[in-house]
Amino acid sequence: MGRKALEAEAKIEPKPEKQQAVRPKPRALIWICVASWLIPGLGHFVQGRKVRGAILFASIIAMFALGVAMKGQFYPLASLSYLESLGGLGEMAVGVVMPATSFFGYSGGKPLFASADYGTAFLISAGMLNLLALLDAYDIAIGRKK
């Protein structure tokens, strides 16, 4: 190898490293998380992911509405049974939809109704799906996920 070939190899510039995403301020992260919890899909919508936010909103609300239509039971938060308390937390995780449903007169299911158990499972699953959507919105906000 000649001297010019060595100089040409030495002049190869290293590839620039990936730019790190700008991390939002803690207040913005809290706002995104609270918005995502209160109204399903709002955390994605605020970040410009309108289609994903709309899909999450529609699926979580539909799942909750199906649970109410099947006469699912609302679990109390303060209960002697740990499983009932966890069920209540799962249902509250759906955001303002749960208190709004209670406000408009739905007090919980009828245990003897044929699909009441399935309705309860739908209500709790809607809350858990909303928590997953909240975590997804958080990951997008901090740049961990695109």
Query: Can you read off the two tokens belonging to residue 51?
Result: 């289609």
Mean pLDDT of 86-107: 88
Q: Dump pLDDT digits (tens) for 136-146.
A: 999 999 988 87
Per-residue exposure over 61-92, b if at least 16 CB sit within 10 Å of its own CB, e if not: bebbebbbebbbbbbeeeeeeeeeeebbebbb
SS3 16: coil
For the stretch 66-90, pLDDT in tens is 999 999 988 888 888 888 888 889 9
pLDDT of 43 higher than 80: yes
Per DSSP, the chain holds a count of helices (H) and strands (E) of 7, 0
Closest CA to 33 of 138, 136, 131: 138
- Model confidence at 45, pLDDT cuts 50, 70, 90, reads very high
Domain layout of the chain by residue ranges: 25-142
What global pTM score does this model have? 0.79
pLDDT digit string, tens, across residues 108-134: 777 788 888 999 999 999 999 999 999
Q: With contact defined as beta carbons under 8 Å apart, do 124 and 91 qualify?
A: yes
* Residue listed under structure tokens 């739905």: 106
How far apart CA 103 and CA 80 sit, in angstroms, is 25
What mean pLDDT value characterizes the chain?
85
User: Encoding tokens for residue 86?
Assistant: 């966890």
